[in-house]
């Protein structure tokens, strides 16, 4: 019996299942005829997000990001068919006329992940989230309905910041181990901390206050996203962001305790939460 060969879309879906389970589940809840392009976008995002895990120094990471920049700017080296994620991304861009510069800006923002420089301010954090999580929601909205995508731009901006903060809270134990701090320095300083004292982890009271404020910022953006208009046609793009609320609430309660116990809910609860959100069309 001949061995079956997986398609690029199937390969990307398998990659996503292993590296970003929430967006994998969200793609399965999306319209089947749009799924290939959504999976391509989510796989591209997952490829960028995992680069820090694959390198020991920033320079090799920047080389990997340059590969994607060259691909988007039309100067890729070698055949893109050898990389299923690259081939599917180019197909999605062509089919749905997606703006390449938005994807290039996403790469540029992700360079921050390769270094241990602290996030300076709330506006710096919001800019980072805007060019990563918010941009991904907006690109997915363009795939789902180019006519309605512009109507949800404001919601995408706020939902992306909330989603980014919830993701950073989930990864905070790993980031702290690496010496990375995504909580803006202005939030740390307002609680009497700096980067080093936060990483040291000794002052539980002040650390809890900083985490509570950080999660509170996420909840503020989530509330604004919930009040914004989201056409039903593009709501599947917001499904991953519907998981942010419970994470932000648990982080505020846990404070410094999140260093020692995970905030993530089991997969079945997250899948159920997205399914109910899709039925209600509410974040």
pLDDT digits over 136-167, tens only? 999 999 999 999 999 999 999 999 999 999 99
Nearest one of 249, 238, 281 to 140, comparing CA atoms: 238
Domain containing 70 equals 7-115
109/134 same-domain check? no
Whether residue 2 is contained in a domain is answered as: no
Domain count for the chain, please give it.
2
Mean pLDDT (whole number) for 203-226: 98
228/141 same-domain check? yes
For helices 84-96 and 100-110, give the axis angle rounded to 10 degrees.
140
Residue 6's pLDDT is 85
Report the distance separating Cα 62 and Cα 111, nearest Å.
Answer: 7
70/205 same-domain check? no
Whether residue 237 is contained in a domain is answered as: yes
Percentage of the chain lying above the pLDDT 70 cut? 96
Residue 24's pLDDT is 96
Whether residue 183 is contained in a domain is answered as: yes
CB atoms within 10 A of CB 74: 8
Contact 101, 40 (CB under 8 A): no
Q: Which residue bears the tokens 């202005």?
A: 186
Report the distance separating Cα 165 and Cα 154, nearest Å.
Answer: 17
Whether residue 161 is contained in a domain is answered as: yes
Whether residue 1 is contained in a domain is answered as: no
154/265 same-domain check? yes
Tens digits of per-residue pLDDT, 259-283? 988 888 899 999 999 999 999 999 9
Mean pLDDT (whole number) for 51-60: 94
The DSSP code for 232 is G
pLDDT of residue 3 exceeding 60, the answer is no
Residue 136's pLDDT is 98
Contact 193, 200 (CB under 8 A): no
pLDDT band for 82, please (50, 70, 90 cuts): confident
What value, to the nearest 5°, has the Cα angle with vertex 138 and ends 134 and 63? 65
Residue 75's pLDDT is 74
Tens digits of per-residue pLDDT, 161-183? 999 999 999 999 999 999 999 99
pLDDT of residue 38 exceeding 70, the answer is yes
pLDDT of residue 12 exceeding 60, the answer is yes
Q: Is 193 left (phi over 0), alpha (psi -120 to 50) or beta?
A: beta
What value, to the nearest 5°, has the Cα angle with vertex 146 and ends 143 and 151? 115
């Amino acid at each position: 019996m001949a061995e079956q060969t997986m398609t690029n879309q199937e390969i990307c879906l398998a990659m996503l299942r292993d590296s970003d389970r929430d967006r994998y589940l969200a793609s399965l809840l999306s319209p089947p005829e749009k799924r290939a392009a959504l999976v391509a976008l989510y796989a591209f995002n997952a490829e960028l997000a995992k680069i820090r895990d694959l390198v020991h120094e920033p320079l090799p990471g920047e080389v990997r990001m340059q590969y994607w920049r060259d691909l988007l700017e039309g100067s890729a080296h070698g055949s893109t068919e050898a990389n299923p994620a690259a081939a599917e991304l180019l197909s999605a861009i062509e089919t749905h006329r997606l703006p390449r510069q938005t994807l290039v800006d996403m790469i540029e923002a992700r360079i921050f992940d390769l270094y241990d420089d602290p996030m300076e301010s709330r506006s710096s954090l919001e800019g980072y989230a805007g060019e990563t999580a918010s941009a991904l929601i907006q690109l997915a909205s363009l795939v789902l309905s180019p006519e309605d995508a512009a109507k949800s731009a404001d919601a995408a901006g706020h939902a992306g910041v909330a989603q980014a903060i919830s993701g950073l809270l989930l990864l905070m134990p790993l980031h702290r181990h690496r010496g990375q701090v995504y909580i803006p320095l202005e939030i740390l300083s307002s609680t009497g901390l700096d980067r080093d004292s936060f990483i040291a982890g000794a002052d539980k009271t002040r650390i809890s206050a900083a985490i509570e404020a950080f999660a509170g910022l996420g909840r503020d953006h989530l509330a604004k996203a919930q009040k914004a208009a989201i056409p039903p046609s593009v709501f599947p793009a917001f499904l991953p962001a519907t998981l942010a609320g419970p994470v932000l609430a648990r982080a505020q309660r846990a404070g410094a305790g999140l260093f020692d116990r995970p905030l993530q809910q089991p997969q079945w609860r997250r899948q159920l939460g997205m399914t109910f959100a899709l039925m209600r069309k509410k974040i």
